[in-house]
């Protein structure tokens, strides 16, 4: 039973990621006033599958002085972590009940840093090394502010389980600025444009995955996009009231569309400004939001005591 | 959880071995050299890096530990939350915020030091 459900989850995730890449190329195309992929299949529907076949037929190249086993381990680790993240996807029809799914989410998103660092360090190239350093520093510092922001809706809904959090209430209407900060944090956490310093094309050629090609690159790529879709799922779970599973999925598509709009609209940020944005603006904001919640509780308790 | 992770690892291993069996081999020495703008890689690869990153990781460690201390409070808060718990959480957050401002004042989180 476990095998069947997990394989079903994996197939769904892979198909979602495949069509998400097509969606990205279409949207970026229309932002730049051109059509995206349109020849393969009908309206370019089969383009992601053609890309996958092409990538998996490419040659495996191991760089000369790299640590070969670790070099091949990094994409496998990243891909399996990204798939494992989707196990805690909340559904009405679930067979499992994980009461601390938020904690599992935090653990896995912390381990993701190792995958990036491993991929960059083992490939023994300067570009990859610098890209991995930047990416890991960025992911680490945004993780802290992400956790503090995420704890606020958890304290408001009183749940750490995602299936129960679906039946909470809309934190978005209570604290709209928190949603904006959360969205920016997820952009930086998944190394997306305008914060894509892990693969800054202008200075580092492709960042931590320069040396990767073919199937190993495909695994890294799939992991990154699966993480992006899961991040938009998280924002849907913790910031909205979802009683309808169709509207829930539609909301995920809505959030992942905003990732693409941000990529199409904004130029790349500056690295030191990005770090300062995290440590000097988002982290104090998150802590103060938590503070505000607790203060409101205390005041409410006080009035309950009086009346 | 562990067996679920094993399944996921197994499936990604299967994808990797499928790829190992599929691809077309055409080895040459030039392909295996590290990427460096068309030149031969001359200099040392794993060079020392800026100390900023290291300081940042230490700061991250502190805040991550604080978050792991916050988590039991949240898990208890789903059951009950007394006045004592709330005030202690408030004091904890105040200490955290003051610590952050102290680091800010010392210049540990500035990317480029002014002096």
Residue B59 lies inside a defined structural domain of this protein: yes
Give the relative orientation of helices A101-122 and B51-77 as an angle to the nearest 10 degrees.
160
d(CA A238, CA A160): 10
Comparing alpha-carbon positions, the chain B residue that sits nearest to A104 is B1
Residue A251 lies inside a defined structural domain of this protein: yes
Residue B5 lies inside a defined structural domain of this protein: no
How far A211 CA sits from the closest chain B CA (Å)?
7
C-alpha count within 13 angstroms, C-beta hemisphere, residue A222 = 35
Where residue A71 falls (left for φ over 0; alpha for ψ -120 to 50; beta otherwise) is alpha
Residue A12 lies inside a defined structural domain of this protein: no
pLDDT band at B42 (very low <50, low <70, confident <90, very high): low
Where residue A67 falls (left for φ over 0; alpha for ψ -120 to 50; beta otherwise) is beta
d(CA A218, CA A224): 10
In this prediction the pTM is 0.88
Beta strands in A27-120 (DSSP E): none
pLDDT given for residue B78 in this prediction: 62
Residue B99 lies inside a defined structural domain of this protein: yes
d(CA B81, CA B74): 9
Residue A30 lies inside a defined structural domain of this protein: no
ipTM of the complex: 0.82
**pLDDT tens digits, one per residue of A215-228:** 888 898 899 999 99
Residue B56 lies inside a defined structural domain of this protein: yes
**pLDDT tens digits, one per residue of A135-149:** 888 888 898 889 889
Residue B39 lies inside a defined structural domain of this protein: no
Residue A143 lies inside a defined structural domain of this protein: yes
**Which residues in chain A have Cβ-Cβ distances shorter than 8 Å to B81?**
297
Residue A34 lies inside a defined structural domain of this protein: no
Residue A4 lies inside a defined structural domain of this protein: no
User: Residue A27 has which token pair?
Assistant: 């949207």
**pLDDT tens digits, one per residue of B51-95:** 788 888 888 888 888 888 888 877 776 666 677 777 888 888 899
Q: Is A270 on the interface with B (CB under 8 A)?
A: no
**pLDDT tens digits, one per residue of A115-127:** 888 888 888 887 8
Q: How many CB pairs under 8 A join A and B?
A: 185
Domain, as residue range, for B87: 50-114
Give which of A224, A232, A227, A231 is closest to A206, Cα–Cα. Answer: A224
Residue B107 lies inside a defined structural domain of this protein: yes
Residue B79 lies inside a defined structural domain of this protein: yes
Quickly tell me which residue has 């994980």 as its tokens.
A98
Q: Name the DSSP class of A196.
A: -
| Nearest-by-Cβ selection for B8 from A80, A127, A290 | A80
Task: Reduce the DSSP state of residue B26 to 3 states and report it.
Answer: coil
**Which residues in chain B have Cβ-Cβ distances shorter than 8 Å to A146?**
none
How far B115 CA sits from the closest chain A CA (Å)?
17
Q: What is the average pLDDT score of chain A?
A: 85
d(CA A161, CA A164): 6
Per the structure, the count of domains in chain A is 1
Helices (H), chain A: 2-31, 47-57, 68-85, 101-122, 126-157, 162-165, 171-174, 176-189, 215-239, 245-265, 271-276, 283-306
Per the structure, the count of domains in chain B is 1
Whether the per-residue pLDDT at A291 is higher than 90: the answer is no
Domain, as residue range, for A217: 62-306
Q: Is A133 on the interface with B (CB under 8 A)?
A: yes
């Amino acid at each position: 039973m476990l095998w069947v459900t997990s394989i079903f989850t994996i197939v769904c995730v892979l198909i979602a990621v495949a069509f998400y890449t097509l969606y990205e190329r279409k949207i970026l195309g229309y932002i730049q006033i051109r059509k995206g992929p349109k020849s393969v299949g009908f309206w370019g529907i089969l383009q992601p599958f053609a890309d996958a076949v092409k990538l998996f037929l490419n040659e495996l190249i191991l760089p000369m002085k790299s640590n070969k086993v670790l070099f091949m381990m990094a994409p496998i680790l990243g891909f399996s972590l990204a798939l494992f993240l989707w196990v805690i996807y909340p559904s009405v029809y679930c067979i499992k009940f994980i009461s601390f799914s938020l904690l599992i989410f935090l653990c896995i998103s912390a381990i993701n840093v190792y995958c990036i660092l491993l991929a960059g360090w083992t490939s023994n190239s300067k570009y990859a090394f610098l890209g991995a350093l930047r990416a890991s520093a960025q992911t680490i510092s945004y993780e802290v502010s992400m956790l503090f922001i995420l704890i606020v809706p958890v304290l408001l809904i009183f749940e750490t389980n995602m299936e129960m959090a679906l039946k909470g209430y809309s934190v978005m209407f209570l604290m709209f600025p928190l949603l904006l900060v959360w969205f920016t944090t997820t952009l930086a956490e998944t190394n997306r444009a305008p914060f894509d310093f892990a693969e800054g094309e202008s200075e580092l050629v492709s960042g931590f995955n320069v040396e990767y090609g073919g199937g190993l690159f495909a695994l890294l790529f799939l992991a990154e996009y699966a993480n992006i879709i899961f991040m938009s799922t998280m924002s849907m779970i913790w910031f909205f009231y979802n009683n309808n599973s169709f509207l829930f999925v539609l909301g995920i598509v809505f959030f992942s569309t905003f990732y693409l709009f941000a990529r199409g609209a904004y130029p790349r940020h500056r690295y030191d400004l990005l770090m300062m944005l995290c440590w000097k603006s988002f982290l104090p904001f998150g802590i103060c939001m938590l503070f505000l919640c607790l203060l409101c509780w205390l005041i409410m308790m006080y009035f309950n005591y009086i009346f | 959880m562990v067996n679920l992770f094993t399944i996921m690892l197994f499936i990604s291993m299967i994808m990797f071995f499928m790829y190992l069996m599929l691809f077309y081999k055409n080895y040459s020495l030039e392909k295996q050299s590290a990427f460096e703008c068309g030149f031969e890689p001359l200099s040392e690869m794993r060079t020392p890096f800026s100390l900023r990153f290291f300081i940042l990781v230490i700061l991250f460690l502190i805040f991550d530990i604080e978050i792991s201390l916050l988590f039991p409070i949240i898990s208890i808060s789903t059951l009950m939350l007394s006045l004592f718990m709330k005030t202690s959480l408030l004091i904890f957050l105040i200490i955290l915020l003051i610590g952050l401002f102290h680091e800010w004042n010392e210049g540990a989180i500035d990317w480029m030091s002014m002096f």
